[in-house]
Structure 1
Amino acid sequence: MMQEELNGIKIKVTPPGPEAKKIIELNDKYLARSTQSLPVVGKLGKGVYVEDVDGNVYLDFASGISVTNLGHLDPYVTQKVEEQLHKLWHFPGTDFYTEMQVLAAKSLIEVTPGKFNKKVFFTNSGTESVEAAIKIAKSYTHRERFIGFIGAFHGRTQGSLSFTASKPIHHKGFFPSMPGVEHVPFPNPYRNPFNIDGYEEPDELVNRVIDYIETYLLKTYVPPEDVAGILAEPIQGEGGYIVPPMNFFKELRKLADKYHIPLLIDEVQSGFGRTGKFFASEHFGVEPDVITLAKSIASGIPMGAAVMKEEMNFSENGLHSNTFGGNLIASAACVATIDEMKKLNAVENAAKQGAYMKKRLVELQNKYNEIGDVRGLGLMLAIDFVKDRRTKEPNSKLRNDVINNAFKNGLILLSTGSSAIRIIPPLIITQEQVDEGIEVLDKAIKMSK
């Protein structure tokens, strides 16, 4: 099947088919265990669709974990990557100089929040970007402690792992990680960390979190003059796609400024148009001191970055470096991705189709009592399955069954949190493709009950 023919769900053989099973068997033989969740073996991709090795075509509502925001094999990005392939693959930008890396940094500086001067440090992944942010904050403040949030996910390497607090498995057997990180409650409007009965005014919820940080942390046992940074996701990703009240980050910024603590915002999953704005932090009216990026930054070419205020730049050469950060092929893909997002009005489409998608998901919520919550911004959405709407007890089994049944019918989904499914299709999705996905999701829920 040619890639241009990938224009709708087609299930030829119940997945995983015979060819997929062969590769999965070899995968289990040769590769270390990781986080495999669905037995789909990708072969070709085009736009919002992926074909597997058995000829099944799936609608991709996972976007490679929010990586292929422009869809698979965007023609313009592909062209620019191919052009760079014929020029130079690798010339380390941390030791030498390349124009393409400069252009990528300039493109990021122009689209990230904040009109102040900035600097960019390139990495290869999200966790590396967080590791860089940790060192940037320590180097700038000459402090060593941090504040993170319960439910957060920032990566799995030892520094970023110290902030990650979404699942115990991430920490199992890896103690100790980097010391000095204190975790505080995140303002979750659905499963309120302060009120088990559930309802509480958003402003009061925010006030409780801010008061917890100031009263029970900074005035009790963590001297604020020792805190190098506060690290947070604008929308918690692995923790369940939790959207805080809209005034939370403004209040958090006030607290951070009061004690001269840098605010570090992790946009690895929520950035690059995913929420209907170029960066999710724009919804909350906050300009980060450091912003961490990866995933969709180069449309699937491995790349990450930490963008910082200019005054937070490393004070001397050699304090931090790497070999592949700002790789020429990745930099070309980054510049092309940003240009193409603007040309295609991808951010605007994410807002438009996200609103329509949310409406359709609310319709499913009204149809099925097992859906306790629909939440998210733009095309960063989630539905949360519960055993009882009143108690909000998570129903992870039903959630998992829905994902598996959707897969068998041609829809790729990913879990998040204890009982939610994330809905993160490419930003170029059409209303007809949204409806196609909702139809499969509806069928999967009905099959799973």
Structure 2
Amino acid sequence: MIDWKSINEEGLLAPTMAKDFPNLPVVKSEGLFYVGVDGRKYLDFTSGIATENTGHRHPRVIAAIKDQVDHLVHGPIGIINYESIITLAKKMKAVLPEPLDCFFFGNSGAEAIEGAVKLARHVTKRPYVVSFLGGFHGRTMGALSLTTSKSKYRRNLPVGANMTYQLPYAQISETPLGYNHDEYWSRHVEKDFERLFNHQVAPDEVAAVILEPVLGEGGYVIPPKAWLQKIREICDREGILLIFDEVQTGFGRTGDWFAANRFGVTPDIMAIAKGIASGLPLSATVASQELMEQWAIGSHSTTFGGNPVACAAACATIDVLRDEGLVENARMLGDYALNKLIALQEKHPAIGTVRGIGLMLGIEIVHPETGEPNGKGLMNILEKCLDKGVIFYLSGNKGEVIRMMPPLTIDKEHLDLGISLLEEAVTEYEIESNLGVYR
């Protein structure tokens, strides 16, 4: 019997992860809930950090896993071949925007990013990559050179930053008064690239531009469509490949299969993971066959990537998302939730901006007097939510944005419950802080 109170004190698990919030001991998960060691049920508004989009232990996914285990557990692909990976590739092709139809399967989002950058450099024969401030692309050394959501992730690590350049990510909240968001940020990014190309790196040395179509770890920031479209235009003009990091936005999270569809911008390469296999480790670097065929045989490989069991789970995941209308549910209930959160923002001085696309919703917690980010207040609110039986997670450069990402299987009743518990927690925090509950 594990003594959960002292487990961290034993030093068995690296504290960099073992002490993350909420560090909640659980014995089971089911649908929308975790079950704690004390038998208490917790409504999960994290989906395993946007991973279990079909909910915890969806029966069809579990059945597919069990069936696959009875036949084949491990590949490796290339040494052998197997049905689940071929079936998955066909199912993926059907839901991805054209011409993204060729797949390199890995295990994690960071691996998908590494593959995407390697592919871009290999095809273009150019060395440099441009990313955007606030983006999170993983913690392996190559991916970390592109990650700028928090400077602490790069502390004491020589991450090859001399091979990358960063530009500002569009922040609609920073649009000057009187300006149209689309027009302002479209011109802004054009000037950003012009300065970059004039002063730091020639465009014919840039292999790729990589970005999250919606910032995840960076605070659930949603850019204007015209901003993304302008980046696509610049890449086309300069012969630069555009990479979308859809690790967190994929598989229905934004109310479409992929955020690329919602913004009407198709990248040359896409990195996907998280929601792909309902919690099993799987990812993919995706591009057209034309690009993939230029990647020399043997220049990239994997032992565990595209595992047969994970691929079977991913096939079932896609079927569930399609058959149960979960993508449409994310769009419909996402709009509903955003309106409810806007109503909360209008009442509560501790809430700054709220934003969302599909069931990817961010609630900024601020100091009411200054409007500055309030990470300490956010943690107080998250702890109160946990005490009430609902789990949220944090994001943002200063840990000031509540990340709300429930499973796409959620219904209006449980969505209302989670939001009402959040409001209770915010209200209690405001009373304790003498902020006053209403504006």
Q: The TM-score by the shorter chain falls in which range?
A: over 0.9
Q: Is the 8 A contact 1:20 1:52 kept in 2?
A: no
* More displaced 10-residue stretch of structure 1: 142-151 or 315-324: 315-324
Q: Is the 8 A contact 1:24 1:39 kept in 2?
A: no
Equivalent of 1:421 in 402, 413, 428 = 402
Match of 2:375 in 1: 396
Note the residue ranges of structure 1 that are not aligned, 5 or more in a row.
1-17
RMSD (CA atoms): 1.6
2:249 equivalent to 1:265: no
Compared CA separation, residues 199 and 85, structure 1 to 2 (3 A): farther
Measure the CA separation in 2 of the matches of 1:95 and 1:182.
38
Task: Please give the residue correspondences for 1:155-234 in structure 2 after superposition, counting only pairs within 5 Å.
Answer: 155-177=138-160, 179-191=162-174, 200-234=179-213
Task: Tell me the SS of whatever aligns to 1:38.
Answer: coil
Match of 1:447 in 2: 428
Match of 1:95 in 2: 79
Report deviation, 1:212. Answer: 3.1
Measure the CA separation in 2 of the matches of 1:106 and 1:272.
15
Compared CA separation, residues 215 and 117, structure 1 to 2 (3 A): closer
2:350 equivalent to 1:370: yes
Q: Is the 8 A contact 1:210 1:255 kept in 2?
A: no
Q: Where has structure 1 moved over 6 Å in runs of 4 or more? A: none
Task: Tell me the SS of whatever aligns to 2:77.
Answer: coil
Measure the CA separation in 1 of the matches of 2:423 and 2:178.
29
Task: Tell me the SS of whatever aligns to 1:257.
Answer: helix
Report deviation, 1:24. Answer: 4.5
Note the residue ranges of structure 2 that are not aligned, 5 or more in a row.
431-439
Task: Tell me the SS of whatever aligns to 2:230.
Answer: helix
Render the CA deviation track for 1:386-417: whole Å, top value 9, x for unaligned: 1137x531111111111111011111010010
Match of 1:142 in 2: 125
* More displaced 10-residue stretch of structure 1: 92-101 or 233-242: 92-101
Match of 2:433 in 1: none
Scaled by the length of structure 1, the TM-score of the pair is: 0.91
Measure the CA separation in 2 of the matches of 1:202 and 1:346.
30
Report deviation, 1:360. Answer: 1.4
Match of 1:9 in 2: none
2:108 equivalent to 1:128: no
Task: Tell me the SS of whatever aligns to 1:247.
Answer: helix
Equivalent of 2:296 in 304, 316, 320 = 316
Render the CA deviation track for 1:323-343: whole Å, top value 9, x for unaligned: 011100001011110011101
Compared CA separation, residues 199 and 169, structure 1 to 2 (3 A): farther
For this pair of structures, how many residues does the alignment match? 424
Q: Is the 8 A contact 1:42 1:51 kept in 2?
A: yes
Percentage identity across paired residues of the two chains:
38
Match of 2:23 in 1: 39
Measure the CA separation in 2 of the matches of 1:200 and 1:393.
23
Measure the CA separation in 1 of the matches of 2:100 and 2:355.
34
Match of 2:437 in 1: none
Match of 1:328 in 2: 308
Measure the CA separation in 1 of the matches of 2:393 and 2:174.
21
Q: Is the 8 A contact 1:151 1:164 kept in 2?
A: yes
Measure the CA separation in 2 of the matches of 1:81 and 1:140.
36
Q: Is the 8 A contact 1:248 1:284 kept in 2?
A: no
Report deviation, 1:248. Answer: 1.4
Render the CA deviation track for 1:227-286: whole Å, top value 9, x for unaligned: 110000000001100000121111111111000111100000011000111111211101
Q: Is the 8 A contact 1:20 1:53 kept in 2?
A: no
Measure the CA separation in 2 of the matches of 1:209 and 1:380.
26
Report deviation, 1:442. Answer: 0.9
Q: Is the 8 A contact 2:31 2:55 kept in 1?
A: yes
Measure the CA separation in 2 of the matches of 1:49 and 1:172.
36
Report deviation, 1:109. Answer: 1.6
Task: Tell me the SS of whatever aligns to 2:129.
Answer: strand
Report deviation, 1:25. Answer: 4.3
Measure the CA separation in 1 of the matches of 2:150 and 2:161.
17
Q: Is the 8 A contact 1:105 1:120 kept in 2?
A: yes
Compared CA separation, residues 94 and 315, structure 1 to 2 (3 A): same
* More displaced 10-residue stretch of structure 1: 154-163 or 309-318: 309-318
**Alignment-mate amino acid for residue 81 of structure 1:** I
Measure the CA separation in 2 of the matches of 1:248 and 1:329.
39
Task: Tell me the SS of whatever aligns to 2:123.
Answer: helix
Measure the CA separation in 2 of the matches of 1:438 and 1:413.
10
Render the CA deviation track for 1:72-123: whole Å, top value 9, x for unaligned: 0000010011000000101211333222111111211211122x26210001
Measure the CA separation in 1 of the matches of 2:276 and 2:143.
19
Compared CA separation, residues 176 and 277, structure 1 to 2 (3 A): closer
* More displaced 10-residue stretch of structure 1: 418-427 or 380-389: 380-389
Match of 1:13 in 2: none
Equivalent of 1:346 in 326, 345, 352 = 326
